[in-house]
């Protein structure tokens, strides 16, 4: 009679080691959580640009440049806002991922859906949305366009910090 997986692992004591040292061996067998970095978040998202040569595309390319620079600032600990009584609150890369996806870490085998960046262009009435928006079901992050870098950073940081604990998985 052929052996099952458990019997095979028990022969050399591997099953016993797995049962006793689950936490230690989890990284070995599961690969462990990917370490978040600005580079890993930049690689994670695909960008849904408007057609090349359009005025929308030009605004989107500037916004993506701001996004890249802002993520580096977040990674360096330089993305923060002053809140009540002057306290300084920082946003970190995990906050960004939770805001966009609802997950606090990138799954070992990636997300089922490809995370996408879209853009918040002017509404038909001429109003603009300045704060980032996200759809955690489709893992879509919507970036504001038409902002100077400092304003982009301020709105991104405030927008993410104003949505704590939403959808943490």
Position 83 scores a pLDDT of 72
In a domain, 166, yes or no: no
Mark whether 73 and 13 lie in a shared domain.
no
CB neighbour burial string for 27-63, b if at least 16 within 10 angstroms, e if fewer:
eeeeeeeeebebeebeebbebeebeeeeeeeebbebb
Contacts of 116 (CB under 8 A, 6+ apart): 45, 46, 47, 48, 138, 139, 140, 141
Q: What mean pLDDT is predicted for residues 123-143?
A: 90
Mark whether 82 and 132 lie in a shared domain.
yes
In a domain, 169, yes or no: no
In a domain, 92, yes or no: yes
Position 45 scores a pLDDT of 97
Mark whether 27 and 43 lie in a shared domain.
no
Mark whether 59 and 141 lie in a shared domain.
yes
In a domain, 167, yes or no: no
Position 167 scores a pLDDT of 44
What is the pTM assigned to this prediction?
0.77
Helix (H) or strand (E) holding 133: strand 133-135
Mark whether 146 and 65 lie in a shared domain.
yes
Helix axes 149-161, 93-101, angle to 10 degrees: 70
Mark whether 26 and 109 lie in a shared domain.
no
pLDDT at 92 over 90: yes
H runs (alpha helix) in the chain? 5-11, 14-20, 22-30, 38-44, 55-75, 93-101, 149-161
Q: To the nearest whole number, what is the mean pLDDT of the chain?
A: 87
Position 169 scores a pLDDT of 43
Count of domains forming the chain: 2
Position 21 scores a pLDDT of 82
Position 32 scores a pLDDT of 62
Taking only the tens place, the pLDDT of each residue in 22-79 is 877 776 666 666 789 999 999 999 999 999 999 999 999 999 999 999 999 999 988 8
- In the structure encoding, which two tokens stand for residue 105, read together? 């870490």
Mark whether 55 and 132 lie in a shared domain.
yes
More confident residue, 126 or 90: 90
Mark whether 19 and 43 lie in a shared domain.
no
Q: What mean pLDDT is predicted for residues 70-90?
A: 84
Query: What's the CA angle centered on 37, arms 34 and 41, to 5 degrees?
Result: 85
Predicted confidence band of residue 95 (pLDDT cuts 50, 70, 90) = very high
Return contacts of 50-58, CB within 8 angstroms, 24+ apart: 50/119, 56/119, 56/121, 56/145
Mark whether 82 and 18 lie in a shared domain.
no
- Domain around 24: 1-32
Residues of the chain with pLDDT > 70: what percent?
A: 91
Position 128 scores a pLDDT of 86
């Amino acid at each position: 009679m052929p052996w099952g997986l458990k019997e095979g692992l028990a022969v050399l004591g591997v099953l016993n080691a797995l049962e006793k040292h689950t936490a230690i061996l989890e990284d070995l067998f599961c690969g462990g959580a990917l370490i978040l970095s600005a580079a890993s978040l930049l690689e994670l998202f695909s960008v849904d640009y408007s057609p090349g040569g359009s005025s929308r595309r030009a605004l989107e390319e500037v916004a993506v440049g701001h996004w890249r620079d802002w993520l580096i600032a977040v990674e360096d600990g330089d993305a923060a806002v002053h809140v009540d009584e002057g306290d300084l609150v920082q946003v970190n890369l995990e906050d960004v991922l939770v805001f966009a996806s609802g997950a606090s870490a990138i799954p070992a085998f990636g997300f089922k859906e490809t995370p996408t960046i879209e853009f918040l262009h002017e509404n038909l009435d001429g109003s603009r949305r300045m704060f980032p928006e996200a759809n955690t079901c489709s893992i879509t992050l919507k970036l504001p366009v038409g902002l100077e870098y400092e304003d982009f950073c301020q709105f991104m940081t405030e927008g993410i910090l104003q949505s704590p604990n939403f959808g943490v998985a």
